Structure 1
Amino acid sequence: MSSFFTIPSLQKKRKRIEGSEAPKKRFATPKSKGAPRDSRPPHAPPRPRRDESISGSDDDDDNNRGLEEEFEGLSDQGSSSGSEDGEETAAERRLRLAERYLDNIREEVDEVGFDAEEIDRDLIAERLQEDAAESKGRMYRKLAAELSFGNASHSVFRNNSEAVTSIATCPPYAYTVSKDLYLTKWRIQELPANQFPQKKKSKKPPPPPRRKPTQLAMIRGDKTKSKDSSYQGHIDSILTVAASQDGKFVVTGGKDRRIIVWDASTLTPLRIFSQHRDAVTGLAFRRGTNQLYSSSKDRTIKVWSLDELAYIETLFGHQDEVVDIAALAQERCISVGARDRTARLWKVVEETQLVFRGGGGAEKKSKSKSPKVLEGSMDRVAMIDEETFVTGGDNGCISLWVVHKKKPIFTIPQAHGMEPALSPDEASAEVHPTEDIIPAPQPRWITALTSIPYSDVIISGSWDGQVRVWKLSNDKKKLEALPSLSSSDDEEDQGIVRGVVNDISVFERGDRGKEGACVVVAVGKEHRMGRWKTVQGARNGGVVFEIPRVEQRKSNGVEKDVENGVHVDGVDT
């Protein structure tokens, strides 16, 4: 009786059942010069010939079938095996078809003249150059020619409180403060889909006016809590506000000598600083950080770190109250000292300061009989880059400065015009006053001043009903006027902005301003620092200006300004 141990080894192998669903493992046939090696027994049936479509299982057949349909027709060799000496695996076939597909795409792209790799390389190089220029504090963007200020749309939002004294933005949010202790959070509306001109002309009517900003939250201080040391809020008028770039903090300062740090999302107070001895007039964040600079009427500048919610140091030097402050990426700031008529550049790390003295005549002698106006107070400052800044004051001038010179290199007199002359009855209480007692017309003060950082755009405000835009020349030696954001040019018309422009904040739409810019203006019936100037018919609130980019198209490789009908290089079309 035979047993398993006595059966010849050739008979021990089981016969494979035909039609079995058992998984089969296949391996690529090794390539050699001789005959292929076969390890099967001699009595086994011959190996069935493979199909042109090689697969390891039914699942592979389904996957490869979709792949072959996608790459079908690429070439006559697409369905043949990739090796003459051996058979190719499914993975090798996928790789070969994918490479052939990419080669065909490259050929089509080359015919059109578009190379994605080269464009990506150029964009990366451009971004690196811009980042390097910004780290060095140099101006590197020419936005004045790319923004259409004359076609800016606007929307007005009102605040039922008293005069809005300051505004800060952190897209898409804006924060306003007022004299009656209100801190309000707004959401700026997004741009509509058809904001910018389309390639094809549409018969549809233009979009409706932009919706007003939405009020999200509001918190108010309490003057009756002045004797309560545990009260975490303002107890007097709020004069300034600033928002961090990362959207975490909102900081306010006012006449109560307090600096309050708020959580930007919920407007809950996080910390109160009371180191200043007088009203806090200005706040500015160091760009890209949570380092804060504050200015005060106590003639000092203080440095704070909001990451640790801590005080760092105090800077001394001004001879009068410090009314405004500005900062960019480097660890330095610029402040203006009101009636000491100086601007000071503070180098925090070096513990040094540079003094720039104003006070000169604002108007040169000319054939006109308009008087020469002297600067009495330097009230506003804005940084263009780390070496260039602008100032404005009560003589109506906007002055351009560089850190290498102690005097302004260029001055625009009467940037916002002159006040109309008084009538004899308004100037005197006499029964029959003469014209000799009528005072000379006075210029409109520069009450707000800002810039788009590291660009050639400067924006100023007063109470003439217009928000004016200025361009820094290519040689950085003078300022040129651009179309105003307000539509009215009539001196007697108050225009869109009805009231005193107490503050201006600007941010760019899209990636580095590719979709334009947004300017938010804080408007009040009176000046933020006092009530010596009140505008009749003014409104407390703000105005949002949306500035589109100039549409440009290429013709024979030359960009053309579609709006103005002028080539970029200055040749008329």
Structure 2
Amino acid sequence: MSSFFTIPGAQKKRKRAPTTENPKKETPWLHCQRPRKERDDESISGSSESEDGGFDEPEDAQEGSDSENEGETAAEKRLRLASRYLENVKEQVEVGFNAEGVDREILLERRLREDVAEAKGKVYRTIAGELAPEKASHTLFRGNNLATTSVATCAPFAYTVHKDRTLVKWRLQDLPANQFPQTTKKKPKKQAPPRRQPDKVHSRQGDRAKAAKNKNYQGHTGEILCVAASEDGQYVVTGGSDRRLIIHDAKTLKPLRVFTHHRDAVTGLAFRRGTNQLYTASKDRTVKVWSLDDGPPFAYVETLYGHADEVVDIAALAQERCVTVGARDRTARLWKVVEESQLVFRGGGSEKKTKADHINPKSLALENTMDRVAMLDDELFVTGSQNGSISLWSISKKKPLFILPHAHGFEPPLKPEEASAEKIPDLKQVSPEQPRWITALRTLPYSDVILSGSWDGCVRLWRLSEDKRQIEPVGVLGQPFGVESEEGEVRVNGNHSDENEPWFVKGVVNDISLFERGHRGADGLCVVAAVGKEHRLGRWKTVKGGKNGAVVFEIPRREKEVANGDDSSNKDVDMEG
């Protein structure tokens, strides 16, 4: 939800003549802009803070009000704009919520606190407990492609990329209409969407033969490893093992520009929230910054150095900074682009040095790579490792706040005859069961929702604890392999003809993308998981019987109990963080 607290003044205010006076310090919330999700947001976000302490109005509003408000002071102008913003928020609270029997002032206060919290870059929404993963519906969709390596969403579309150099655009299904007319006083209800596959809109595949004949060929010549979609719905960006970074038109998937600045495979992409500033990660150990604001031909900005190994994943939010993980250098780095500095967070450890109860020493000792990263807010982020652990980090500490070991369980140990070529193998030399890697990690920005994936047949839902120092389990999307049914039968990965049978994510979950349904997530969460027979970066892990495609999970929200004019399920925003 955008507001005049969050839109940069440079986008709305008039150009001023250059001055020799020392400029005032920039307000921190100017970087924390929020994407415009609805048309009526523009009326609320019709002002921004100016250098003289007041607020600048939109250009069309300024022309009509210059003469009318010519004699007002800066304080009167701030008061007038704040009153206008408050009136618009009251209208949205009345439209977006069923306020029957609920104190409207409580909803209004909560909404204002949320706006300020996002401006400060803090976790302000605790919605993980309101989701019902056990009631989630699912739909598998796929084409005749190789393993799906990544997925990106920009509602109502999803974009998948594959190892056969293919980019596919899908249109996701819409939620069904309300059961009750809007004129009734009953609370409208939403039903789970039918199990209908998304519609395939466009598809584009790279061609090595054409690239060999034409040096100016605008397409991928190798496996596509990552994809990202801009929030304004204009651009889709892909990166691959051919070292190419390609910007596509989101409507037609037509290539607009090809960059070859990276010297090795492009492994990660992230848009700065609410802008068209792009960050890319590569196996050449660098992070590059790009600007897509001015349209083609776009612009390369700068390169960031620091990692000692391949940069395999990247994440970003509203501020002009990003977080990366460097695989075998076992570090996560927070890059402050404006300050041209970085913070280093080191994983791993030893049994002797670590004695905390919430950290498994064996889990730390086995941490040889950090493969996945996702940001919760501007101060907290999570990482996933090959030792199966999910770590919670704060930018104020060099070591993790909390480590959740073996989040997706263990692989069954090999049989002695499979692990050894000897006729009578030594059981002591057989490798024990190994933890499953964290192959996908995603968060809902500025909330307590965390999603992770591996190859255990499901996507797991976690939440950030109230004290923001631990990770707690919430539920499972799908059902893990080898889980006993009520009849005592152990189910394995296979085809399911009965809709009532437990359903599995058949393959390696290589990536996860999500967005909220309805007004501020009132209708639940849509989760899209990219699934493949093999790992996105190589063939060292393959799943027997796996599928190449993607899975859509529609997670509904639990029904709220409203009593005595208050909603007990909602919690106040934690402003202190």
What TM-score range do you get, normalising by the shorter chain?
0.7 to 0.9
How far the C-alpha of 1:559 sits from its partner, in A, is 4.5
Task: Say whether residues 1:235 and 2:221 are aligned partners.
Answer: yes
CA distance in 1, matches of 2:340, 2:187: 59
Q: In structure 1, how many angstroms separate the alpha carbons of the residues matched to 2:481 and 2:540? A: 26
1:489 deviates by: 6.7
Q: Distance in 1 between matches of 2:162 and 2:285?
A: 23
The 1:116/1:208 distance shift into structure 2, 3 A limit, reads closer
**Cα deviation 1:111-132 (Å, max 9, x = unaligned):** xxx899983x665554333222
Paired residue secondary structure (1:485): strand
From 447, 459, 465, the counterpart of 1:467: 459
1:136 deviates by 1.4
TM superposition shift of 1:159: 2.6
1:409 aligns with one of 395, 401, 405: 401
Greater RCO (Cα-Cα under 8 Å, separation 6 or more): 2
Matched, 1:189 2:178: no
Separation in 1, partners of 2:477, 2:355: 27
Alignment of 1:543-558 (within 5 A): 543-557=551-565
- Counterpart position of 2:380: 388
Given that 2:101 and 2:564 are in contact with CA atoms closer than 8 Å, whether structure 1 keeps it comes out as: no
The 5 Å alignment of 1:62-141 reads: 119=104, 123=107, 125-141=109-125
Contact 1:281–1:296 (CA<8 Å) still a contact in 2?
yes
Alignment partners' CA distance in 2, 1:464 and 1:189: 27
Q: Deviations over 1:391-421 (max 9, x none)?
A: 0011000000000000001001100000001
In the superposition, relative to structure 1, how do residues 238 and 118 fare at CA in structure 2: closer, same or farther (>3 Å)? same
Cα distance per residue 1:437-489 (max 9 Å; x no partner): 21121100000000000000100000000100111001100000111111457
Alpha-carbon distance between aligned partners in 2 of 1:516 and 1:245, rounded to the nearest angstrom: 19
Q: Among residues 271, 275, 279, which one is paired with 1:289 in the alignment?
A: 275
Question: Deviation string for 1:81-133 (max 9, x for gaps)?
Answer: xxxxxxxxxxxxxxxxxxxxxxxxxxxxxxxxx899983x6655543332221
2:253 aligns to what? 267
Cα-to-partner distance string for 1:354-411 (whole Å, 9 max, x where unaligned): 0000023699899xx9966511110000000000000001100000000000000100
| Change in 2 beyond 3 A, CA 1:488/1:558 | farther
1:252 aligns with: 238
Q: Counterpart of 1:47?
A: none
What are the within-5 Å matches in structure 2 for residues 333-352 of structure 1?
A: 333-352=322-341
**What is the distance in 2 between the residues matched to 1:283 and 1:201?**
41
Cα deviation for residue 503 of structure 1 reads 0.1
* CA deviation vs aligned residue, 1:227-283 (integer Å, no higher than 9, x gap): 332101001100000000000000000011110000001111111111100000000
* Residue pairs, 1:165-564, within 5 angstroms: 165-193=149-177, 209-227=194-212, 228-308=214-294, 309-360=298-349, 374-488=366-480, 490-491=482-483, 493-494=492-493, 495-557=503-565, 559=567
Aligned match for 1:148, one of 132, 135, 153: 132
Letter in 1 for 2:345: F
**Aligned-pair distance for 1:207?**
7.2
**Cα distance in 2 for residues equivalent to 1:128 and 1:303:** 33
Matched to 2:371, the amino acid is D
**Hey, what's the Cα distance between the residues in 2 that align with 1:364 and 1:534?**
36
> Is the alpha carbon distance of 1:489 and 1:500 closer, same or farther for their aligned partners in structure 2, counting shifts above 3 Å?
closer
The whole-number CA distance in structure 1 between the counterparts of 2:178 and 2:335 is: 45
SS of the counterpart of 1:483? strand
Question: Residues of 1 paired with 2:274 and 2:187: CA distance?
Answer: 41
Aligned 8 A contact 1:399 1:412 in 2: yes
Q: Which moved more, 1:217-226 or 1:489-498?
A: 489-498
Question: Deviation at 1:560?
Answer: 6.7
- Structure ID, larger Rg: 1
Coordinate RMSD, CA, aligned: 2.9
Could you list the per-position Cα deviations for residues 35-82 of structure 1 after superposition, in whole angstroms to 9, with x for gaps in the alignment?
xxxxxxxxxxxxxxxxxxxxxxxxxxxxxxxxxxxxxxxxxxxxxxxx
Query: Aligned AA for 1:301?
Result: V
Change (3 A) 1:150 1:360: farther
Q: Indicate conservation of the 8 Å contact 1:394/1:445, yes or no.
A: yes
Alignment partner of 2:520: what SS? helix
- Which secondary structure state, in structure 1, belongs to the residue aligned with residue 144 of structure 2? coil
Distance 1:509 1:364, change over 3 A: farther
Using the TM superposition, give the Cα deviation of residue 558 of structure 1 relative to its aligned residue in structure 2, in angstroms: 5.6
Code of the residue aligned with 2:423 in structure 1: it is: V
Larger CA deviation: 207-216 vs 339-348: 207-216
Residue in structure 2 matched with residue 33 of structure 1 by the alignment: none
Q: In structure 2, the residue corresponding to 1:512 is in which secondary structure?
A: helix
SS at match of 1:425: helix
Structure 1 residues 11-37: Cα deviation after superposition (integer angstroms, max 9, x where no partner): xxxxxxxxxxxxxxxxxxxxxxxxxxx
Amino acid at match of 2:341: T
Cα pair 2:176 2:193 within 8 Å, conserved: no
In the aligned structure 2, how far is the partner of 1:116 from the partner of 1:478?
35
Number of residue pairs matched by the alignment: 444
SS of the equivalent of 1:529 reads coil
Residues 1:162 and 2:162 are matched in the alignment: no
- Matched residues in 1 for 2:187 and 2:274: separation? 41
Q: Which SS does the other structure have where 1:217 is aligned?
A: strand
Amino acid at match of 2:238: T
Percent of pairs with identical residues: 61
Q: Deviations over 1:324-369 (max 9, x none)?
A: 0000000000000000000000000000000000023699899xx9
Name the amino acid aligned to 2:492. D
Distance in 1 separating the partners of 2:151 and 2:540: 21
Q: Structure 1 residue runs of 4+, over 6 Å off?
A: 114-118, 198-202, 362-366
The aligned amino acid for 2:374 is A
Q: Is the 8 A contact 2:457 2:479 kept in 1?
A: no
Structure 1 residue 201, shift from structure 2 partner: 13
Q: Could you tell me whether the CA contact under 8 Å between 2:122 and 2:378 is conserved in 1?
A: yes
Residues 201 and 344 from structure 1, CA distance in 2 versus in 1: closer, same or farther, beyond 3 angstroms? closer
Q: Distance in 2 between matches of 1:127 and 1:559?
A: 14
